[in-house]
């Protein structure tokens, strides 16, 4: 992504996402060790860390795609308390407040770009086809994909498919959009367009949580950076504090390893 100024943190808004004491395990191995995290409305939070640090698990716990062993997750007033039974209606209510952009696009191969974006509006939200089409075209335009509305995924590059998936999330008008390594499956020459699309969404004021391995991208887009290591938050702060001037030797070593000279 070129020419994008780093975003200032600005005033602190009330938390729209709150994660408290989240423990999660995979195959008997604890992946998250009591994570506490909050995200303010309008904030762009980037989560960095080595492979296996629990970044994707944390993201999926926020969206209730994974059930943690214990702890609570709250998104804009909807709380899931994993100390006991979590009602299905509460999970659905929380998911209506979030949207997820995956590594692998997850587009319907037999639907056009436009129909991929309208699907959630008509089927899940019950929006009329006319209104769904209008909203979908606006979302495609926001990521510069409006001229590809009638093309199928097989007719689009990886970067274009990912921009459609971002439009699909944006069209739902969620309280928060979660991005899981949104450029990791792309050829290097396609990455910039997706970065620009995500930056355009950030500029619109949408709250975003982005798991990424791209330090430069995190530096340019985030208002706050969290560094996760071994299932624990090792540091958090502004991009300058975490990326430019890390106080932790572990974070500094990671950045030297992954950042180009």
Segment 3-9 long-range contacts (CB within 8 Å, at least 24 positions apart): 4/195, 4/196, 4/199, 4/220, 4/221, 5/220, 6/219, 6/220, 6/221, 6/239, 7/44, 7/202, 7/221, 7/222, 7/223, 8/223, 9/43, 9/223, 9/224, 9/238
- pTM for the structure as a whole: 0.91
In the predicted model, is pLDDT for residue 1 greater than 70?
Answer: no
- Length of the chain as a residue count: 261
Q: How far apart are CA 3 and CA 196, in angstroms?
A: 10
Residue-level pLDDT at 3: 44
Domain ranges in the chain? 109-157+165-172
**CB 73, CB 62: distance < 8 Å:** yes
Residue-level pLDDT at 261: 47
Residue-level pLDDT at 124: 85
**CB 108, CB 120: distance < 8 Å:** no
pLDDT digits (tens, 9 = 90+) for 2-30: 444 455 554 446 899 999 999 999 999 99
Lowest mean pLDDT among 52-66, 184-198, 235-249: 184-198
Residue-level pLDDT at 8: 55
Residue-level pLDDT at 153: 97
Residue-level pLDDT at 258: 86
Residue-level pLDDT at 6: 54
pLDDT digits (tens, 9 = 90+) for 83-141: 999 999 999 999 999 999 999 899 999 999 999 999 999 998 999 999 999 999 999 99
pLDDT-derived band at 194 (thresholds 50, 70, 90) equals: very high
- Give backbone dihedrals phi and psi of 252, rounded to 5 degrees, phi first: -60, -40
How many Cα atoms within 13 Å fall on the side-chain side of residue 173? 7
Residue-level pLDDT at 4: 47
**CB 20, CB 220: distance < 8 Å:** no
């Amino acid at each position: 992504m070129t020419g994008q100024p780093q975003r200032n943190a600005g005033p602190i808004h009330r938390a729209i996402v709150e994660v408290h004491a989240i423990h999660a395990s995979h195959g008997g191995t604890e992946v998250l060790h009591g994570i506490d995290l909050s995200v303010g409305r309008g904030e762009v939070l980037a989560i960095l860390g080595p492979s296996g640090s629990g970044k994707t698990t944390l993201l999926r716990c926020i969206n209730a795609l994974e059930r943690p062993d214990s702890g609570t997750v709250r998104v804009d007033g909807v709380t899931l308390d994993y100390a006991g039974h979590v009602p299905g209606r509460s999970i659905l209510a929380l998911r209506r407040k979030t949207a997820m952009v995956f590594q692998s696009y997850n587009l319907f191969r037999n639907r056009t770009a436009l129909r991929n974006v309208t699907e959630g509006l008509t089927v899940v939200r019950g929006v009329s086809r006319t209104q769904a089409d209008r909203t979908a075209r606006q979302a495609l335009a926001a990521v510069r994909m409006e001229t590809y509305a009638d093309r199928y995924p097989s007719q689009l590059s990886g970067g274009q498919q990912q921009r459609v998936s971002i439009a699909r999330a944006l069209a739902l008008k969620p309280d928060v959009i979660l991005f899981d390594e949104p450029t990791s499956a792309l050829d290097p020459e396609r990455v910039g367009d997706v970065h620009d699309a995500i930056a355009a969404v950030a500029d619109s004021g949408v709250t975003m949580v982005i798991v990424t391995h791209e330090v430069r991208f995190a530096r340019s887009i985030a208002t706050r950076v969290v560094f996760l290591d071994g299932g624990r938050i090792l540091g958090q702060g502004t991009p300058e504090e975490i990326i430019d001037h890390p106080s932790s030797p572990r974070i500094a070593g990671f950045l030297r390893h992954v950042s180009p000279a």
